[in-house]
């Protein structure tokens, strides 16, 4: 489990600090810890402090992230992280833009006279930006522009799933997206193998298999350019399993919360939310959070798994022993 980071302490402000106070504190701390203002022997340590300062400001200067961070708090974080948090396949990166075709492409000639393209990405969609800590990832995952588009892979030749032909000039290709990016939607810039640039507008909650038509971006023919069809592919995710518009995840529950009931934090694509657990909850119980799936039509199904502490204090052992005696 990642260590809790006190962003207020890192910037040296109170929890009631105003936006102006946070901004002023950030500027002061950034100057204090900037690696270039320190001797070589201190650069490594200052670099880590400088990253913490930037991360703290990224959260506290963003109203949505600050609200989520305050809701979770240091006390709630331990139980939240024990349940997996908003796990992500990799560290966050600043996102939209970039060139999923950046790795180049190879062209083959098939025996039937068709041309086949195999597109490769430039590293899985990391297009620059600062690294964020595992603590940040455990709470926010890809929320708020982390992640990034990438991974165009290919089959834009003759045929294709839509029945387009080489003669018509239509082309079909697969566009792999992170789950968070598919959920948010937005615009992305692509540079096609032929050098043409295009802006693709993805609707929020775009699903697996959705086809997006880019008119005039296909192969050139005697009648003009054909169309390019992008077929959406959602990458596997560490926290969620996608079924249509619905998401499935698991959250760990401590035995006392299962027995007595209480409030837990559940990771969603919009950040963690508080959920009430009824008293007497059994292992494997499922909760349904409507509207928390890939889009407003989808739901998030949460399976509760009861965890047994791996180590107990003497007081906890005595309490469990007493419970065993009276049960």
Question: Any idea which residue has 């500027």 for tokens?
Answer: 27
Query: Each residue of 126-149: pLDDT tens digit?
Result: 222 346 788 887 777 644 433 333
More confident residue, 121 or 229: 229
The pTM of the full predicted model, rounded to 2 decimals, is: 0.58
Question: What confidence score (pLDDT) does residue 136 get?
Answer: 85
Query: Do 234 and 177 contact (CB within 8 A), yes or no?
Result: yes
Confirm whether 1-61 and 105-234 share one CATH topology: no
More confident residue, 131 or 123: 131
Domain 239-327 bears CATH identifier 2.60.120.10: no
Q: For residue 311, which phi and psi values (nearest 5 degrees)?
A: -140, 140
Closest CA to 6 of 65, 61, 60: 60
Cα separation, 265 vs 272, whole angstroms: 6
Cα separation, 126 vs 121, whole angstroms: 10
Tell me the CATH number for domain 1-61.
1.10.287.110
Beta strands in the chain (DSSP E): 105-109, 115-119, 152-153, 171-177, 186-191, 197-202, 211-214, 220-221, 224-225, 228-234, 241-243, 246-253, 262-266, 273-277, 286-290, 299-306
Query: Each residue of 256-285: pLDDT tens digit?
Result: 889 999 988 898 998 888 899 999 999 999
- For domain 105-234, give its CATH number from 2.60.260.20, 3.50.50.60, 3.40.50.300, 3.40.109.10: 2.60.260.20
Query: Each residue of 208-234: pLDDT tens digit?
Result: 999 999 898 888 888 888 888 888 988
More confident residue, 159 or 130: 130
Residue 288 has pLDDT above 90, yes or no: yes
* Mean pLDDT on 235-247: 90
* Mean pLDDT on 110-126: 31
Q: How confident is the model at residue 73 (pLDDT cuts 50, 70, 90)?
A: confident
Closest CA to 105 of 115, 119, 116: 119
Question: What confidence score (pLDDT) does residue 82 get?
Answer: 59
Question: What confidence score (pLDDT) does residue 52 get?
Answer: 92
Average pLDDT, rounded, for the chain: 75
To the nearest whole percent, how much of the chain has pLDDT over 70? Answer: 73
Pairing of β 220-221 and β 186-191: unpaired
Question: What confidence score (pLDDT) does residue 88 get?
Answer: 38
Helix (H, G, I), strand (E, B) or coil at 243: strand
Question: What confidence score (pLDDT) does residue 261 get?
Answer: 92
Helix (H, G, I), strand (E, B) or coil at 204: coil
Query: Do 301 and 291 contact (CB within 8 A), yes or no?
Result: no
Q: Where are the domains of the chain?
A: 1-61, 105-234, 239-327
First CA to last CA distance, the chain: 33
Query: Do 277 and 264 contact (CB within 8 A), yes or no?
Result: yes
């Amino acid at each position: 489990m990642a260590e809790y980071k006190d962003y207020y302490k890192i910037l040296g402000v109170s929890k009631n600090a105003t936006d102006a106070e946070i901004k002023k504190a950030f500027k002061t701390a950034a100057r204090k810890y900037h690696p270039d203002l320190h001797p070589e022997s201190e650069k490594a340590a200052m670099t880590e402090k400088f990253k913490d300062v930037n991360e703290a400001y990224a959260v506290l200067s963003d109203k949505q992230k600050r609200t989520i961070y305050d809701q979770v708090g240091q006390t709630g974080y331990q139980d939240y992280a024990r349940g997996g948090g908003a796990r992500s396949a990799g560290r966050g990166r600043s996102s939209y833009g970039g060139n999923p075709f950046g790795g180049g492409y190879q062209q083959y000639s098939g025996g039937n006279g068709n041309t086949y393209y195999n597109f490769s990405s430039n590293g899985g969609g990391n297009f620059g930006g600062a690294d964020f800590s595992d603590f940040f990832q455990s709470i926010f995952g890809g929320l708020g522009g982390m992640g990034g588009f990438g991974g165009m892979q290919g089959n834009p030749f003759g045929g294709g799933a839509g029945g387009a032909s080489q003669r018509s000039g239509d082309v079909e290709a697969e566009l792999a997206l992170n789950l968070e990016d598919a959920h948010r939607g937005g615009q992305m810039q692509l540079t096609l193998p032929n050098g043409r640039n295009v802006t693709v507008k993805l609707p929020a909650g775009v699903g697996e298999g959705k086809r997006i038509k880019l008119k005039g971006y296909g192969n050139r023919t005697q009648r003009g350019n054909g169309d390019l069809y992008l077929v959406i592919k959602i990458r596997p995710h560490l926290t969620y399993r996608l079924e249509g518009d619905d998401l499935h995840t698991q959250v760990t529950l401590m035995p006392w919360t299962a027995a007595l009931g209480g409030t837990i934090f559940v990771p969603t694509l919009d950040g963690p939310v508080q959920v009430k657990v009824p008293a007497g909850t059994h292992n494997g119980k499922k909760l349904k959070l409507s509207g928390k799936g890939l889009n407003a039509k989808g739901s998030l199904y949460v399976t509760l798994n009861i965890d047994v502490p791996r180590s107990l204090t003497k007081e906890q052992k005595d309490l469990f022993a007493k419970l065993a005696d009276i049960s």
